[in-house]
Amino acid sequence: MTVEVVTPERVLFSGEASMVIARGVQGDLGILPNHMPMVTPLKIAPVRIKTEGDKELVMAVSGGFMEVRGDKVTILAETAERPEDIDPSRAKAAKERAEQRLNEKHPDLDLRRAERALQRAITRLQVTNK
């Protein structure tokens, strides 16, 4: 099947794959060729694309949507990063900052924004550890 991962800035991946594994808002999804058509929002989580020869491409995806239609899977991501594009020390620092903000419980804290920042940092670290 053909898979495309697109962000507002660029096409991050376009090619053939045997499976796509992503986290939708209702849980993990494994998409194989000829999957039933669907559109689902995505959570902030790694997306795994299994390509020829059992190779696997992993990316940190920060929300967006996945559309499955016939033998084509399109991921329209708010942001997506490959492991080589992620600075692990920067991601670790971002995780620590987000945890600190959440632990301080400041009255002006935008809780949702802080939680999303923490999840993005955790996802980046997961992807770089693969």
Last residue of a domain, one of 42, 61, 81: 81
Q: Are residues 74 and 101 in the same domain?
A: no
Pairing of strands 19-24, 38-50: antiparallel
| 103-121 per-position pLDDT tens digit | 887 777 777 888 899 999 9
Query: 77 and 93: one domain?
Result: no
Domain that includes residue 46, residue range: 2-81
Does 8 share its domain with 31?
Answer: yes
Instruction: Please count the structural domains in the chain.
Output: 2
Domain CATH number, residue 76: 2.60.15.10
Amino acid at 8: P
| pLDDT tens track for 60-98 | 999 899 999 989 999 999 999 999 999 999 999 999 988
**pLDDT averaged over the chain?**
92
Amino acid at 78: E
Pair (65, 91) in one structural domain: no
